[in-house]
Structure 1
Amino acid sequence: MSDRLSVLKTYKLYVGGKFPRSESGRVYEVTDAKGNWLANAPLASRKDARDAVVAARKAFGGWSGATAYNRGQILYRIAEMLEGQRDQFVAEVADAEGLSKAKAAAQVDAAIDRWVWYAGWSDKIAQIAGGANPVAGPYFNLSSPEPTGVVAVLAPQESSFLGLVSVIAPVIVSGNTVVVVASRNAPLPALSLAEVLATSDLPGGVVNLLSGRTAEIAAPLAAHQDVNALDLAGADADLAKELETAAADNLKRVVRPGAADWSADPGTERLLAFLETKTVWHPMGV
């Protein structure tokens, strides 16, 4: 029998490429599907949410200004690193969702494949969301997609990793930056994803991850004047209604929650949800 002490992992928030504890100093207990203690996760505050928005805004210029090809390379690099840490994520997803190792492995493999899928879209979005428009007159009229800005994302509550990836990757691949509120009861895969992002080529501030009470963190994000859009995947109907009302103050784009099969083909809905269209007129022959 070994008398070695276990080295327990300390989970932290991920804001601006760094790993702060909550400024409030609060934590909460995370348990597995059977109620067994797994870890203490940081209980993010309203101040943490505001700090994350500042970090996301600061990162937006550089990330949105990067070439689509470069963003695709970086997303693919994240998938490579997730593949290398597959066993860790399988264990965390199995604990978080009460799955067998085989079912958790299938979820993790699907999440990694989804990163690769979205990475491939980076330099193809313009082909389906933009193009030349027929106009009357001697002009070229061209429309091209541009990122919306800072997006606040409430990660799905029930799908701790595949659902999480399915709401982060389509937002950042087009040049947006995000503040993500992880699943309330199963935040550990999200906080471990932050460690992968920090050691990839993804610039700090592009993805910011918070854990804690979903409603407490989401309220200041929905009301924040420097947040441009909301994805309410992890909100229940009552919370979603409150957040939509708050979002109306600065005309945020909002993706409403709904029944989702995260293992299904994601399509392009979320990929296109947080894009604006720039239209340019140019005289012919000039």
Structure 2
Amino acid sequence: MSERLTVFKTYKLYVGGKFPRSESGRVYEVRDNKDKWLANAPLSSRKDARDAVVAARKAFGGWSGATAYNRGQILYRIAEMLEGRRDQFVREVADAEGLSKSKAAAVVDAAIDRWVWYAGWTDKIAQVVGGANPVAGPYFNLSTPEPTGVVAVLAPQESSFLGLVSVLAPVIATGNTAVVIASEKAPLPALSLGEVLATSDVPGGVVNILTGRTAEIAAPLAAHQDVNAIDLTGADADLARDLEIAAADNLKRVLRPQPVDFSADPGTHRLTAFLETKTVWHPTGSLGASGSAY
């Protein structure tokens, strides 16, 4: 039997539920920590960033309007699909982060568990940050959390998979849509995650994944008038400062970079980072003779 040719994987962006190449056709080499070539990744352009925002905005209405329970089901489905491709992600994370197979397996397992964690929070966070407020008068005063909108996410540079999941999952769990800039040095696990999302009932455009030079892609996103918030986790101090200045133009919510142990209990901080509080007053007298609501 003749020796088979090696079939190399072609990595593509994930935008609007599809897998386009970079608009410019550019790629860049991805290498491991021993300088071994792993693959060519798409080098996204400003046009790719704008296309991703358009896709995210188009998907926002349907995703934010879905029930929290339904979003939880979909996030759990992502965990299911990741579990089925666990071995592939263990290999990619080991190559990307220079980890042993056992350590990479622990990272992938933690990332799968994190999807389950946030799936469970989708229909509970409203009870934590919302509720009925006591007021002086014959009124109901109810506060409920609502998603901010389109969130640009600069994924962590070093934690290419667990860190990525830890910043992405809470954004979409609460009804926002996301434009993610993957780790510049280690983008391959993120691009493979796009393949999982495409088969996990996540509507196209809810998550859009770009790869390339972080500063080059982040600048147009920070200044984009249709981006409502930005997570600067993957930016260094100088880039974060420049992006925060650009983000002020349309009063984006900004989550500043800070040291994070992604292996620790994530808590609810990132769930509430991109939520707005809507408060409604309602007279009790119009709800019936008893003044109670059902």
TM range (shorter): over 0.9
Aligned position for 2:120: 120
From the superposition, tell whether residues 138 and 153 of structure 1 become closer, same or farther in structure 2 (CA, over 3 Å): same
Aligned position for 2:239: 239
Q: What is the aligned residue count?
A: 286
- Is 1:26 aligned to 2:26, yes or no? yes
Aligned position for 1:45: 45
State the secondary structure of the residue aligned to 2:160.
Answer: coil
TM-score of the superposed pair, with normalisation by structure 2: 0.96
Runs of 4+ in 1 over 2 A off after TM superposition: none
Aligned position for 1:209: 209
Measured against aligned partners, the alpha-carbon deviations of 1:75-94 in whole angstroms (never above 9, x if no partner) come to 00000000000000000000
- Is 1:269 aligned to 2:269, yes or no? yes
In structure 2, C-alpha distance between the alignment counterparts of 1:255 and 1:231, rounded to whole Å: 5
- Residue 199 (structure 1) shift: 1.0
Paired AA for residue 62 in structure 2: G
- Residue 144 (structure 1) shift: 0.2
Aligned position for 1:187: 187
State the secondary structure of the residue aligned to 2:186.
Answer: coil
CA RMSD in angstroms comes to 0.8
In structure 1, C-alpha distance between the alignment counterparts of 2:169 and 2:47, rounded to whole Å: 25
State the secondary structure of the residue aligned to 2:153.
Answer: strand
Listed as ranges, the matches of 1:49-60 within 5 Å are 49-60=49-60
Measured against aligned partners, the alpha-carbon deviations of 1:113-166 in whole angstroms (never above 9, x if no partner) come to 000000000100110010011111110000000000000000000001000000
In structure 1, C-alpha distance between the alignment counterparts of 2:163 and 2:120, rounded to whole Å: 19
Aligned position for 2:289: none
Report percent identity of matched pairs.
86
Gaps of 5+ in 1: none
In structure 2, C-alpha distance between the alignment counterparts of 1:155 and 1:2, rounded to whole Å: 43
Paired AA for residue 147 in structure 1: P
Gaps of 5+ in 2: 287-294
Paired AA for residue 87 in structure 1: D
TM-score of the superposed pair, with normalisation by structure 1: 0.99
- Residue 282 (structure 1) shift: 0.4
Aligned position for 2:133: 133
In structure 2, C-alpha distance between the alignment counterparts of 1:208 and 1:2, rounded to whole Å: 41
Aligned position for 1:79: 79
In structure 2, C-alpha distance between the alignment counterparts of 1:83 and 1:3, rounded to whole Å: 32
- Is 1:64 aligned to 2:64, yes or no? yes
- Residue 267 (structure 1) shift: 0.7
In structure 1, C-alpha distance between the alignment counterparts of 2:249 and 2:229, rounded to whole Å: 12
- Residue 33 (structure 1) shift: 1.4
Paired AA for residue 196 in structure 2: V
Aligned position for 1:92: 92
- Residue 285 (structure 1) shift: 2.2
- Residue 200 (structure 1) shift: 1.1
Paired AA for residue 138 in structure 2: P
In structure 1, C-alpha distance between the alignment counterparts of 2:52 and 2:174, rounded to whole Å: 20
